[in-house]
Amino acid sequence: MASVYDHTKIEKKWQQAWEEAKLFLQTEKQGETVKDKMYLLFAFAYPSGSGLHVGHVESKTALDILARYYRMQGKDVFFPVGWDAFGLPAENYAIKTGVPPVETTKNAINTFRRQLKQIGISYDWANEIATCHPGYYKWTQWIFAELYKKGFAYQAEGKVNWCPQDQTVLANEQVVNGTCERCGAEVVQKDLKQWYFKITEYKDELISGLDQVDWPVATKQQQLNWIGKAKGLNIDFKLSEKTEITLTVWTKFWETVFGTTFVVIAPEKFLEMKLGELVDSQHQAAVNDYLDKAFKKTEEERKIGEKDKTGVDTGLKVINPVNGQAVPLYIADYVLMNVGTGTVMGVPAHDERDFAFAKKFGLPIQQVIVPSGLSFESLVSTQRDPADFRSQFLAQVKEGMTVWPWEGKIVNSGQFDNMESRGDGKQAMAEWMIEQGYAQWNVTYKLRDWLISRQRYWGAPIPVIYDPEGQPHLVEELPWELPTDVDFKPTGESPLTSSVEFQQRTEAYAAKHFQRLMIEKGWDQNGKGWRPEYDTMDTFVDSSWYFLRYVDARNEREFASKEQMQKWLPVDFYMIGPEHIVLHLLYSRFFTKFLRDQGYLNFDEPFMKMRHQGMILGPDGRKMSKSKGNVINPDEVIEKFGADTLRVYEMFMGPIEADKLWDVSAVAGVYRFLRRVHALVSAGVMPVGVQRKLHQTIRKVTQDIPELKFNTAIAAMMEFVNEWEAALKTSSADKLGHEELTSFIKLLAPFAPFLADELYHQVADSSKSSASSVHLSEWPQWNEELAQEEAVMIPIQINGKVRTQIEVKTDSVGDKNAILAEAKSTQIVQKWIEGKEIVKEIYVPGKIVNVVVK
RNA sequence: GCCGAAGUGGCGGAAUGGUAGACGCGAGAGACUUAAAAUCUCUUUCUCGCAAGGGAGUGUGGGUUCGAGUCCCUCCUUCGGCACCA
The reply to whether the CB atom of residue A236 sits less than 7 A from any atom in nucleic acid chain B is no
**Rounded CA Rg of chain A:** 35
A617-643 pLDDT, tens digit each: 988 888 888 888 888 999 999 999 999
A178-218 pLDDT, tens digit each: 677 767 777 777 778 899 999 999 999 999 999 899 999 88
pLDDT at A395: 63
Cα–Cα distance between A254 and A407 in angstroms, integer?
13
Chain A residues 756-795, Cβ below 7 A from strand B: 793, 795
Half-sphere exposure of A324 (CA within 13 A, CB side): 1
What is the phi/psi pair of residue A215, to 5°? -125, 160
Tally Cβ neighbours within 10 Å of residue A338.
12
- Which residue's CA lies closest to nucleotide B81 at its C1' atom? A222
Residues in chain A, overall count: 854
Q: Are A140 and A542 in contact (CB under 8 A)?
A: yes
Helices A643-652 + A54-72 axis angle, to 10: 90
pLDDT at A338: 84
Whether A470 has a pLDDT exceeding 80, the answer reads yes
More confidently predicted of A277 and A307 = A277
Chain A residues 547-606, Cβ below 7 A from strand B: 578, 582
Cα–Cα distance between A117 and A230 in angstroms, integer?
48
The reply to whether the CB atom of residue A293 sits less than 7 A from any atom in nucleic acid chain B is no
Chain A residues 442-481, Cβ below 7 A from strand B: 446
Half-sphere exposure of A599 (CA within 13 A, CB side): 1
* CB-contacted nucleotides of strand B (7 Å): 3-5, 11-16, 18-20, 22-26, 39-41, 54-55, 61, 66-68, 74-76, 79-82, 84-86
pLDDT at A833: 81
Q: Residue A30's pLDDT band (boundaries 50, 70, 90)?
A: low
Chain A residues 412-441, Cβ below 7 A from strand B: none
Helices H / strands E in chain A, number of each: 30, 32
A791-847 pLDDT, tens digit each: 888 889 888 888 888 888 888 888 888 888 888 888 888 888 888 888 888 898 888
H helical segments located in A522-663? 539-542, 546-549, 562-568, 583-597, 634-641, 643-652
The reply to whether the CB atom of residue A185 sits less than 7 A from any atom in nucleic acid chain B is no
**Among residues of chain A, what percentage have pLDDT more than 70?**
92
Angle at A576 between CA A126 and CA A751, to 5 degrees: 65
The order of strands in the sheet holding A607-611 is A76-78, A37-42, A571-575, A607-611
A514-557 pLDDT, tens digit each: 999 999 999 999 999 999 999 999 999 999 999 999 999 999 99
Average pLDDT, chain A: 88
Distance (Å) from CA A672 to C1' B36?
20
Chain A residues 68-127, Cβ below 7 A from strand B: none
- Which residue's CA lies closest to nucleotide B84 at its C1' atom? A334
The nucleotide closest to A805 (CA, C1' atoms): B19
The nucleotide closest to A666 (CA, C1' atoms): B25
Task: Identify residue A847 by its one-letter amino acid code.
Answer: K
Distance (Å) from CA A383 to C1' B49?
39
The reply to whether the CB atom of residue A841 sits less than 7 A from any atom in nucleic acid chain B is no
What is the phi/psi pair of residue A307, to 5°? -90, -40
Q: Are A63 and A609 in contact (CB under 8 A)?
A: no
Distance (Å) from CA A340 to C1' B3?
20
ipTM score here?
0.95
The torsion region of residue A770 among left (phi > 0), alpha (psi -120 to 50) and beta comes to beta
* SS3 category, A697: helix
pLDDT at A324: 93
Distance (Å) from CA A714 to C1' B11?
19
pLDDT at A386: 46
The reply to whether the CB atom of residue A622 sits less than 7 A from any atom in nucleic acid chain B is no
More confidently predicted of A397 and A313 = A313
Cα–Cα distance between A222 and A226 in angstroms, integer?
6
Whether A19 has a pLDDT exceeding 70, the answer reads yes
Kindly compute the dihedral angle of the four CA atoms of residues A293, A294, A300, A303, in this order, to the nearest 10 degrees: 130
A77-113 pLDDT, tens digit each: 999 999 999 988 888 888 888 899 999 999 999 999 9
Least reliable range by pLDDT among A171-185, A283-297, A676-690, A703-717:
A171-185
Q: What is the DSSP letter of A250?
A: E
A332-357 pLDDT, tens digit each: 988 988 889 999 999 998 888 898 89
Q: What is the DSSP letter of A779?
A: P
What is the phi/psi pair of residue A365, to 5°? -120, 120
